[in-house]
Structure 1
Amino acid sequence: MRRLSTVELMLLTTIGLWSLNLTVSRYILTHGFQPLAYAAGRYGLAVVVIVALALTLERSVRIESRDLGLVAAAAALVYVNQIGFVYALEKSSASVLGLILGATPIFAALAGLVLRTESLPPRFWAGALLSFGGVALVALGSGGTLSGDLGGVLLGVLTAATWAGYSMLVVPLMRRYSATRISGTVLAVAWVPIALTAAPQLSDQDWGLGWEVWVLFLFATLGPLVLTNELWFRSLDRIGPARATLAANLQPFLASAIAVVLLSESLGPLELAGGVLIAAGIFAARRRGVSAPPSE
């Protein structure tokens, strides 16, 4: 039996933590934490940890002036991603959001097309249509009608699209800086607008949430955010975002299964059919492959 490579282990660890994070964050948001207060607190703690690591390991978090535009663009995508993420979890379920995030590889390829780092064959477009059809089925199944839970589904799509774009933008930065330095810088810049947007909720937040919520908050910060950022960046550097995001095909079903077991959520026939279509679309798009941007 073939042993898993280092990059495969990093991706599997990342995907496992991300999958569990949907359930953990959903629990936190339904047990007293307001969405923006959660995002601001979580990212604030993550920035402190990652910047401390960068300063300890490298003695600097300096980014060259020529790369500040990329850092700002990546931080803007992280900001939108987190707003979409917390409100998608508030309005929808962890299992539904997990299925929708399965479309991330399609968005990564489309982002590569815009940035001219991807060459997309005709088969890709057939796969994209299948995946987006699956998202539509998930929307119908989760709300009964397109208007029922459409807000949460659209925010889930926004979360997938912004994460894919973010993954594409950081590839050039990986050629010049470490994963720790990029994470510390990008997340620090992104935290500022997150905190400003969250100010009303932070001032109104009841912080007496119980030890269980705070333990899960620490896990959601140190595992699915701090550790996975490091592992994800290193994976991107080795195999490129197109192949790295394709490896995330396992996440929607793993995340949904965890949410069903731990949160007693349920998935209807339409939602399950949508998940299958999303996976089939990604498989169809992958068969002939899309070219990954070069990594050094």
Structure 2
Amino acid sequence: MRRQHQNLVLFGLYSVCGALVFVGAKLGMPDVPPLVFAALRLDIAGVALVAVAVWSLEYWLPRTRRDLLGVVVVGGFTLGVMNAMLLVGQQYVTSAVGAIAYSLMPILTTGFAVVLLPTASLDLVDALGILLGFVGVGVVAHPSPVGMHADRVIGFGLMVGSVAVFALGSVATQRIQPALPRPALTAWGVLLAAVVNHGIAVVFGRSLTTITWTSAAIAGVFIESVFATAVLYGIHFELIDRIGPARTSLSFYLQPIVAAPIGLVLFNNQLTVTSLVGFLVIFVGFVLVERQLLLD
């Protein structure tokens, strides 16, 4: 019973930290340009995660080709490209809508796994669940002539794109099968992703000198790097060991519920009925894809 309580507390913290990804981003921008924000987030979290890996693991340094390839995929693609798209897209949508976009993660991960992993399979119910996920995303994007705003559609599209990048990279890393423990793999990947994001920022003419260091900017960077990255990933690995990756992914459906009231209080962002309907459609898709998990 005590372990179940611990799992519940960790799951709750994980959901809150996941929601803070979107809240912290909105808090820090526009005082911190999004591409610089992405790099700073990964700088601070990467140093912290590598320090924890060195302290807690014997096998913390990449030793094999698969280890190095895993770090390159995680750092250059899964976290590198993903973070740039996430922060750029988040400036155009509310924190709750950003969290809703990420509720598509378990569905997309299943879809990519079917394509890339030989042990994964897909039946008609799974296919219907994945289809509903995309329908829900379309509802949230709300691309009707009356309600369409170009910035909002582009921003939400970038958010969904970042979800797809993360899901694809996660499945690709699983296929590579590096021997390096997951905490160390992610720690080095985060540091490499920081370098990638600094490079992207330089290409687009952004640097640390473009930051306006307001109290909101400092709070946003702190929340994003410490709670929404370093602590989030630390809890992530613990939860996967305790309850498995499928059950851990259920947190993506709590994150919009957490992000919505925080966004309302801090930014006066209200969750529209359309966004709520879209989220519910995505959740139904998830239920169909992960029906065995929910029945266990």
Shorter-chain TM-score tier: 0.7 to 0.9
CA displacement at 1:29 relative to structure 2: 0.9
Query: What does residue range 236-275 of structure 1 map to in structure 2 within 5 Å?
Result: 236-275=240-279
Which stretch of the first structure deviates more once superposed, 277-286 or 250-259? 250-259
Over aligned residues, Cα RMSD in angstroms?
Answer: 2.8
Rounded Cα–Cα distance in structure 2 between residues aligned with 1:27 and 1:218: 10
Which residue of structure 2 aligns with residue 89 of structure 1?
A: 90
Write out per-residue CA displacement over residues 179-202 of structure 1, whole angstroms, 9 at most, x where no aligned residue.
431222111222221111112211
1:14 aligns with 2:18: no
Letter in 2 for 1:53: V
1:198 aligns with 2:196: no
Which residue of structure 1 aligns with residue 162 of structure 2?
A: 159
Matched position secondary structure for 2:32: coil
Which residue of structure 2 aligns with residue 103 of structure 1?
A: 104
Contact 1:40 1:195 survives alignment (8 Å): yes
CA displacement at 1:151 relative to structure 2: 0.7
1:53 aligns with 2:52: yes
Rounded Cα–Cα distance in structure 2 between residues aligned with 1:231 and 1:171: 19
1:219 to 199, 220, 223: 223
Identity %: 23
User: Moved runs in structure 1, 4+ residues, more than 4 A?
Assistant: 5-8, 169-175, 237-240
Rounded Cα–Cα distance in structure 1 between residues aligned with 2:239 and 2:259: 20
1:182 to 178, 181, 185: 185
CA displacement at 1:232 relative to structure 2: 1.3
Contact 1:98 1:252 survives alignment (8 Å): yes
Contact 1:19 1:258 survives alignment (8 Å): no
CA displacement at 1:175 relative to structure 2: 7.8
Write out per-residue CA displacement over residues 73-111 of structure 1, whole angstroms, 9 at most, x where no aligned residue.
122121111011101111222121111111111011112
Contact 2:71 2:186 survives alignment (8 Å): no
Classify 1:273/1:283 alpha carbon distance in 2 versus 1 (closer, same or farther; 3 Å).
Answer: same
TM-score by length of 2: 0.85
Letter in 2 for 1:25: A
1:149 aligns with 2:148: no
Rounded Cα–Cα distance in structure 1 between residues aligned with 2:172 and 2:244: 11
Rounded Cα–Cα distance in structure 2 between residues aligned with 1:91 and 1:238: 36
Rounded Cα–Cα distance in structure 1 between residues aligned with 2:8 and 2:63: 31
Count the aligned residue pairs: 288
CA displacement at 1:112 relative to structure 2: 1.4
Classify 1:172/1:13 alpha carbon distance in 2 versus 1 (closer, same or farther; 3 Å).
Answer: farther
Classify 1:204/1:277 alpha carbon distance in 2 versus 1 (closer, same or farther; 3 Å).
Answer: same
CA displacement at 1:177 relative to structure 2: 3.6
Contact 1:131 1:277 survives alignment (8 Å): yes
Classify 1:98/1:247 alpha carbon distance in 2 versus 1 (closer, same or farther; 3 Å).
Answer: closer
Which residue of structure 2 aligns with residue 125 of structure 1?
A: 127
CA displacement at 1:163 relative to structure 2: 2.5
Rounded Cα–Cα distance in structure 2 between residues aligned with 1:185 and 1:6: 28
Contact 2:27 2:219 survives alignment (8 Å): no
Matched position secondary structure for 1:85: helix
Unaligned runs of at least 5 residues, structure 2? none
Matched position secondary structure for 2:226: helix
Contact 2:60 2:180 survives alignment (8 Å): no
Letter in 1 for 2:252: A
Write out per-residue CA displacement over residues 244-289 of structure 1, whole angstroms, 9 at most, x where no aligned residue.
3234222223223322233210222222211111112212222245
